[in-house]
Amino acid sequence: MNSVSPSPRRGLRVALLSPRGPLYKHGSGIWKKSLRYMPLTLTTLAALVPEELGAELRLFEEGIDDIPLDLEADLVGLSVITGSATRSYELADHFRSRGLPVVLGGVHPTLLPDEAAAHADAVVVGYAEETWPELLRDFAAGCLKPRYDMAPDFRLENVPIPRRDLLPADHYFTRHTIEATRGCNHNCEFCVVPTAWGGPRQRPVAEVLAEVRAMNPKKLLFLDLNLVANPDYARELFRALAPLGIRWGGLSTIDIAFDDELLDLAAAGGCRGLLIGFESLSQASLAETRKLFNTTRDYGDAMRRFHDRKIAIMACFVFGFDHDTRDSFAETAELAIEARIDLPRFAIVTPFPGTPLFRRLKADGRILTEDWDLYDAQHVVFRPARMTPEELLRGTEWAWKKVYGLSSIAKRLLGAWVQPWVSLPANLGYRFYARNLHRFYTCRGAPV
Ligand code: SF4
């Protein structure tokens, strides 16, 4: 094990890296910088570094910049998602071959710690708020352990304010991102959240408000996976935000559309946009993926309720459930246009490792590849039930192009006219994305 303590003459030099998969990769990816918000992972890890170590911190987000292969550091930490696992392991192996100790953490090492351990001196499993400082102190003392697990009773309290100053603000459309909660109260079959992170946790509202006030933003983006997982907490948070006069967006389930009090509080509290997983029009597909709370919902009615309160919606649909057919693409695109969804998005069912969906498809012999590069929700990595992999890939691409055709954009936006100064440029960004997906598929060689 490369357990090298820093020189006593200077502080610990820590490099924190966030490698990216091909879709987002700097230089060859298809996302423009203007569509990126500042993520919280590296800045949060930086804030957790114990002061007494006097550490010198360098942060590299590969989505916006190159990671220097010759970087000098006493310890290299990588935050890994499944889509970036291959690249992360490549980088980890490189730095270890140079004698630099490497720590891997994030959702993928949490799901597959043994796989990650083959490329690391230490693996962090679960949230790192308590384990990362402990790991750094161990490292400084020359007694790094191979694995650090989150305590089951971990509470999201007294977390430090992320070091946003360590990432270049001009590379993002906003640096004002924040988390109030983590985890989710649901258990959708395809989702990594319940498997990797467990149930919902909330920060005390007073701590969230203190962080918001410190940023003093006009606009704010909550990165919580489900802001309304605990409706009582959400009500308290929305009430507390109202006097600040901030416009904000976040992620929610569709439940909020049919809870009048919660929806009114969100709107009065400054909510102007929500990302919601509509997932499918098929009741059978929703039941199959355990998203039963969506099955009784009328998406058109939900959109009217949001638009009545001037809340724009990014609605995510997923193709490739076992009950989906070749007709699903046109039906879903039509609904997105007719319901005036401000920003529709389409993903392909992805059986992330460790999820119940992965286990089911693996047991049925339907997993086509375990090349994690392709686990990005835009490639087909399993055998669909009622169409070919090629039909699923091309059908999804067709749906993107359909809803982001100029006439479809006009119909969706003119029909609602909610937050047009945000929706219009975002639609043009997604139009660019839709029209360039074929380049991405070709260059990655999907296993279809
Ligand atoms: S509601 Fe969303 S975050 Fe929660 S388990 Fe389902 S897909 Fe995951």
Q: Among the atoms of ligand 1, which is closest to the Cα of residue 229?
A: 4
Answer with the one of 114, 149, 184 that is the final residue of a domain: 149
- What the block records as the tokens of 371 is 């090349």
Mutational test site, ligand 1, from 188, 227, 278, max ligand atoms within 8 Å of CB:
188
- Residue 64 — pLDDT band, cuts 50, 70, 90? confident
pTM of model > 0.95: no
pLDDT in tens, 339-361: 999 999 999 999 999 999 999 99
Residue 398 has pLDDT above 50, yes or no: yes
pLDDT of residue 8: 47
CB 380 within 8 A of CB 446: yes
Tell me how far the alpha carbon of residue 22 lies from the centroid of ligand 1, in angstroms: 24
d(CA 384, CA 367): 10
Residue 3 in any domain: the answer is: no
Q: What is the 3-state secondary structure (H, E, C) of 275-308?
A: EEEEECCCHHHHHHCCCHHHCCCCHHHHHHHHHH
pLDDT of residue 442: 58
- Residue 23 — pLDDT band, cuts 50, 70, 90? low
Q: Of the candidates 64, 82, 63, 67, which has an alpha carbon nearest to the alpha carbon of residue 23?
A: 63
Claim to verify: residue 110 and residue 192 sit in the same structural domain: no
Claim to verify: residue 68 and residue 217 sit in the same structural domain: no
Tell me how far the alpha carbon of residue 252 lies from the centroid of ligand 1, in angstroms: 9
Claim to verify: residue 73 and residue 138 sit in the same structural domain: yes
CB proximity list for 299: less than 8 A, separation 6 or greater = 254, 278, 281, 315, 335, 339
Q: Among the atoms of ligand 1, which is closest to the Cα of residue 291?
A: 6
Claim to verify: residue 108 and residue 181 sit in the same structural domain: no
Q: Of the candidates 377, 378, 286, which has an alpha carbon nearest to the alpha carbon of residue 323?
A: 286
Residue 169 in any domain: the answer is: no
pLDDT of residue 99: 98
Residue 158 in any domain: the answer is: no
Tell me how far the alpha carbon of residue 76 lies from the centroid of ligand 1, in angstroms: 31
Q: Among the atoms of ligand 1, which is closest to the Cα of residue 277?
A: 2
pLDDT of residue 426: 93
Q: From residue 129, give the alpha-carbon distance in Å to each of 51, 104, 133, 161, 347.
A: 14, 14, 7, 12, 31
User: Does ligand 1 lie within 6 Å of residue 188's CB atom?
Assistant: yes
Claim to verify: residue 132 and residue 204 sit in the same structural domain: no
For residue 357, the domain's CATH number is 3.80.30.20
Residue 160 has pLDDT above 50, yes or no: yes
pLDDT of residue 3: 46
For residue 97, the domain's CATH number is 3.40.50.280
* Rounded mean pLDDT, 398-411: 98
Q: Among the atoms of ligand 1, which is closest to the Cα of residue 225?
A: 3
**Helix (H, G, I), strand (E, B), or coil: what is residue 78?**
strand
d(CA 295, CA 135): 44
Beta bridge partners of 14: 57, 75
Count: domains in the chain: 2
Mutational test site, ligand 1, from 187, 197, 225, max ligand atoms within 8 Å of CB:
225
Write the residue with the smallest CA distance to atom 6 of ligand 1: 188
Q: What is the largest distance, in Å, between two alpha-carbon atoms of the chain?
A: 67
Q: Is 220 left (phi over 0), alpha (psi -120 to 50) or beta?
A: beta
pLDDT of residue 297: 81
User: Does ligand 1 lie within 6 Å of residue 226's CB atom?
Assistant: yes
d(CA 318, CA 181): 24
* Rounded mean pLDDT, 41-46: 98
User: Does ligand 1 lie within 6 Å of residue 349's CB atom?
Assistant: no
Answer with the residue of higher pLDDT: 29 or 176. 176
Claim to verify: residue 224 and residue 124 sit in the same structural domain: no
User: Does ligand 1 lie within 6 Å of residue 294's CB atom?
Assistant: no
Claim to verify: residue 333 and residue 209 sit in the same structural domain: yes
Claim to verify: residue 51 and residue 110 sit in the same structural domain: yes
pLDDT in tens, 218-250: 999 999 999 999 999 999 999 999 999 999 999
Claim to verify: residue 365 and residue 402 sit in the same structural domain: yes
Residue 297 in any domain: the answer is: yes
* Rounded mean pLDDT, 16-42: 72
CB 336 within 8 A of CB 412: yes
pLDDT of residue 382: 98
Answer with the residue of higher pLDDT: 110 or 10. 110
Beta bridge partners of 34: none
Q: From residue 140, give the alpha-carbon distance in Å to each of 102, 132, 145.
A: 14, 12, 12
User: Does ligand 1 lie within 6 Å of residue 193's CB atom?
Assistant: yes
d(CA 361, CA 366): 5
d(CA 162, CA 176): 11
Residue 7 has pLDDT above 60, yes or no: no
Q: Among the atoms of ligand 1, which is closest to the Cα of residue 185?
A: 4
Answer with the one of 149, 168, 198 that is the final residue of a domain: 149
Mutational test site, ligand 1, from 111, 187, 190, 193, max ligand atoms within 8 Å of CB:
193
pLDDT of residue 29: 52
Query: Pairing between strand 201-202 and 181-182?
Result: antiparallel
Claim to verify: residue 228 and residue 274 sit in the same structural domain: yes
Residue 168 in any domain: the answer is: no
pLDDT in tens, 298-316: 999 999 999 999 999 999 9
Answer with the one of 149, 184, 203 that is the final residue of a domain: 149
Mean pLDDT score across all residues of the chain: 93
Claim to verify: residue 269 and residue 410 sit in the same structural domain: yes
User: Does ligand 1 lie within 6 Å of residue 340's CB atom?
Assistant: no
**Helix (H, G, I), strand (E, B), or coil: what is residue 371?**
coil
Claim to verify: residue 191 and residue 289 sit in the same structural domain: yes
pLDDT of residue 440: 75
pLDDT in tens, 164-200: 999 999 989 899 999 999 999 999 999 999 999 988 9
CB proximity list for 177: less than 8 A, separation 6 or greater = 37, 38, 39, 40, 220, 221, 222, 223
Residue 390 in any domain: the answer is: yes
Q: Among the atoms of ligand 1, which is closest to the Cα of residue 192?
A: 8
CB proximity list for 221: less than 8 A, separation 6 or greater = 37, 174, 176, 177, 178, 248, 249, 250
Residue 62 in any domain: the answer is: yes
Residue 20 has pLDDT above 90, yes or no: no
Residue-number span of the structural domain to which 229 is assigned? 176-444
Instruction: List b or e across 377-408, with b for residues whose CB sees 16 or more CB atoms inside 10 angstroms.
Output: bbbbbbbbeebebebbbbbbbbbbbbbbbeeb
Residue 240 in any domain: the answer is: yes
- Residue 61 — pLDDT band, cuts 50, 70, 90? very high
Residues shown for the chain: 448
